[in-house]
Structure 1
Amino acid sequence: MDVGRGAGAVLRRWYVFLPLVILTVMAALRVEEGVRPQYETSATAILVPGDPPTDRPYGSIEDTTQALSIVLANGRSRAAIARLGLNPDYLIEARDNSDLLNVAVVDDSRERSVATGEAVLAMARQELAQRQAAAGVSPRARTVMQILQTPSDWDVVEGARRNAVMVGAIGVALSLLLTVLVDDLVAWLRRRGPDRRALEHDQSDDPGGAGAP
């Protein structure tokens, strides 16, 4: 759409464009009020080898980190978290060739997001201890998990504002399009009026007329 054409249509048909924009603003505000804020909790843990180094059920520290992330992401672990009344849609990330394990949770409740992160870390610690105990690794030689960033750290995800901006942008674009269409329709009707009157005048001047035999 030509910018000049759109601006001219808005100036000529402001009585069409302005009410539509007002309705768009009201709709965007309603969307922003209707969407509940979400809270993102993140936590980071590091795996520390025991002393002295010994055979580990999962292999190296890096392999252990990857294995833990797979175990925590499977359906059984998520079902266990859900039975606690927590959010099973958490995210587990183990970086390649790293001993760091990241947990992220996004939830409508800040308390539930924090509790979910804590429960996932507790499950990881329990899984690590049980596997090493079953393999006969002495407590001193076992790999342990230390928390670098607790799940108590959280941020608000601005989903409501983003949705409101999207509704506003789409609404303004549709308002502009409808205003241009109305402007084109009015212009077409105005051009058609003189042409129709001229045709009627010519027919009245014709003695034969359209109905003559």
Structure 2
Amino acid sequence: MDFWKAITVLLRRWYVALPAMCLTFLAAYGVYATIPTRYSSTALMVLTMPTSGSYRPANPGDPNPLVNPLLNFDGGLNMTASIMVQILNGPEVAGRLGVRPDGATTYKVNNGHPNPELLISAPFVLIEGTSLSPQDARTIVARVAERAKVELKRRQQVLNAPPETFINLTEMVPPTEPQAERGGKTRPAAAVFALGVMAALGSAFAADSIMTGLRRGAEEAPPERAEAATAPGEKAGSRR
């Protein structure tokens, strides 16, 4: 019943609701058009141990058996992936790559889980770059991927790890074709549209309430005012 009452009010006060809805559409479209489109590209890298193993044998004549790197995962690779994520997300590496927090081109790195508590669960390094330009989004992903290899090698050299045991960072999925992110434009426009619809409905109901109140006030006017309005006519008739 309330629904049909609301429809009746809107139909009765269409001259208020219709302009308000038109303004709502224009405002939502204006917000959508003014927000620039951002593009994103991703790359997936995996940490693997060398085929000779993760340690150097004491007896060079008895080398380690060769193992497929993709079948040789352990907790150490997961921890290394976590360390690499923290390093690549740091301001020092971002500054070397020319990325500023307030710049048009940014990137973020994780291991497939945006939750920091799950950073040590997989030996992956997932890089996602965003920019106003499709080419810049893809370029920053490629640059971060190359920088990741440099940082991994440098950290292992600092720790004096044997070169033959160095962990490899292999690019499993190269930088993908940049895709437009519409969500950053759609959400604000939808919020403006929702607020505009509520404002249009509120204005229609407010106008109906005001008009109804004025009409009732006119109908319930005191009788004295009506007699005062007709008295001059009566006096003129009596003079005749």
Shift of 1:18: 0.7
Percent identical pairs in the alignment equals 21
Most deviating of 8-17 and 112-121: 112-121
Structure 1: gaps of 5 or more residues: 206-213
The residue aligned with 2:63 is none
**Closer/same/farther in 2, CA of residues 199 and 144 from structure 1, 3 Å limit:** farther
What letter is aligned with 1:122? E
**Equivalent residues of 2:78, 2:120 under 8 A apart:** yes
1:117-145 CA distance string (max 9 Å, x none): 11111111001112223444454432111
What letter is aligned with 2:125? L
1:90 partner SS: strand
**Equivalent residues of 1:32, 1:161 under 8 A apart:** yes
Shift of 1:16: 0.8
The residue aligned with 1:114 is 138
**Closer/same/farther in 2, CA of residues 157 and 80 from structure 1, 3 Å limit:** same
Query: Structure 2: how far apart are the matches of 1:199 and 1:137?
Result: 105
Asked if 1:62 is matched to 2:74, the reply is no
1:43 partner SS: strand
What letter is aligned with 1:91? K
What letter is aligned with 2:136? R
**What are the equivalent positions in structure 2 for 1:72-111 lying under 5 Å apart?**
72-82=88-98, 89-94=106-111, 95-111=119-135
Asked if 1:17 is matched to 2:34, the reply is no
| Aligned pair partner of 2:198 in 143, 166, 173 | 173
Structure 2: gaps of 5 or more residues: 57-74, 112-118, 231-240
TM-score by length of 2: 0.74
Aligned length: 202
Query: Structure 1: how far apart are the matches of 2:224 and 2:185?
Result: 58
What letter is aligned with 1:69? V
Query: Structure 1: how far apart are the matches of 2:125 and 2:223?
Result: 83
| Aligned pair partner of 2:175 in 139, 151, 170 | 151
Higher alpha-carbon Rg: 2
